[in-house]
Structure formats: C-alpha cells, structure tokens
Structure 1
Amino acid sequence: MHESIGQLVTSRAGRDRGRPYLVVGVLDDRFVLVADGDLRPVDRPKRKNMRHLVFHRAWAQEIRQQLAAGKRPGNADLRRALAALVAEHFGKERGTDEKPEVQGG
C-alpha cells in the first residue's frame, strides 16, 4: 500500500483551492485520487496532480485500514474522519458568524 493512502491533503490549485481531502487512491507517480465524502464521494473521487496538493502530516488510520483491506469506506466514515483530522490539524475552524478580516485601508 502506498504511504499517502488516507493522508490529509489540501488543494492548492483549481476551483477547489483550499478544500481538504483524503487520498483514497494512487494512479501513478504524478496523480492521486482524492475524496471528501461530500462533493467528491468515495465512488467518484477526483483525480489530482500531486503538484496541486499540499500533503499534511496527518493520516486517517481507519480509512487507511479499510482501503488496505480492499473495502471501500462509506461517505459518512470519510466525512467523519476528515472532520476529525481537519479539527486536529488546523485547530478550531472559523465560524460563519465571524466577520471577515478587513483588507486594505
């Protein structure tokens, strides 16, 4: 099994820039398959160039084990694991009731 399976990644390019995903498959040395269980379900993962991703030092072990066993995890499992990793890795998420930062003068 490839070392990046189950790893938390963030898109750095494309219209999904800034969106977190989990790696659910590796196509070759340039492309991986990512899913978030919401907009990108497990049965329809997105093919992303590795250069367009930021790889974080966090892995969803339960998703990794399911994929290693040849099972496809459910979308709810993927969302739960992704939310836990994002909360752990990035800290408290910014709430929607907070005002955006003022830029400029």
Structure 2
Amino acid sequence: MNEGARGSLLGRVVRVLQGRETNQYMIIIEVLDDRYVILADGEKRKTNRPKKKNLHHIEITDYISPEVQNSLLETGRVTNGKLRFAISKYMSEIVTDLKKGDLHDGER
C-alpha cells in the first residue's frame, strides 16, 4: 500500500463486521500493511489497547474525521477524547440521516 492510500485510511470511521465488536464503529489509527489496520474507539478500545483488524472484517465508510487524521499525521498519536468526539459526530451526522431513509453513502 502506498503512502497516499495509507494516509487516506487514517482517521476513517469503519464498522466492524466480524468478531466480538461486530456492528461497532471505530476509527483507523494506524495502517500496518495491505491486510491489517489498527482500530480504536476511545471508549472500549482505547489508544493504549487498540485492536488489530483484517481489512476484510471491517466496512470502511466514506467519513474521515479531519481532527483525528490531522492529529495522527502531525504527531502520530490521537487522544481517546478525540476518537469519541469523532465517532459521536459521525453517528449524529450520518447515522441519523440513515434513519430518514437515505442510503449509507455519507452524502448529504
């Protein structure tokens, strides 16, 4: 995976499709290689105990949290609070739109 693709995944909200955290939303905080990413949500999965996940086991959304992405690119770290904020912002913007009958593509 090239650096551009790697950077485009950082800060992206994903939905876990398999495993103990199925249907939970998390954020990619690190890309290991073409198959694996490191996920955290700032709540159950904090940044000090992130989850290594196969890309085939997650659904990558179109939503990137600019706050999380900038923090990761600038310092290589992100706070748990920022992750929680980004996920709650995603849930309020995108998922509430879904309930209005929209398709899940992140468009407004």
TM bucket, shorter chain: 0.7 to 0.9
Structure with the higher helix share, 1 or 2: 2
Question: What TM-score, normalized by structure 2, do the two folds share?
Answer: 0.81
Runs of 4+ residues over 4 Å off in structure 1: none
Question: What TM-score, normalized by structure 1, do the two folds share?
Answer: 0.83
Gaps of 5+ in 1: 95-105
RMSD (Å), alpha carbons:
1.7
- Aligned residue pair count: 94
Compared with structure 1, are the counterparts of its residues 45 and 93 closer, same or farther at alpha carbon in structure 2 (3 Å cutoff)? farther
SS at match of 1:28: coil
SS at match of 1:69: helix
Compared with structure 1, are the counterparts of its residues 42 and 93 closer, same or farther at alpha carbon in structure 2 (3 Å cutoff)? farther
Gaps of 5+ in 2: 100-108
Q: Is residue 37 from structure 1 mapped to residue 59 from structure 2 by the alignment? A: no
Identity of aligned residues (%): 30
Query: 1:1-105 residue pairs with structure 2 within 5 A?
Result: 1=3, 2=6, 3-91=8-96
Higher Rg: 1
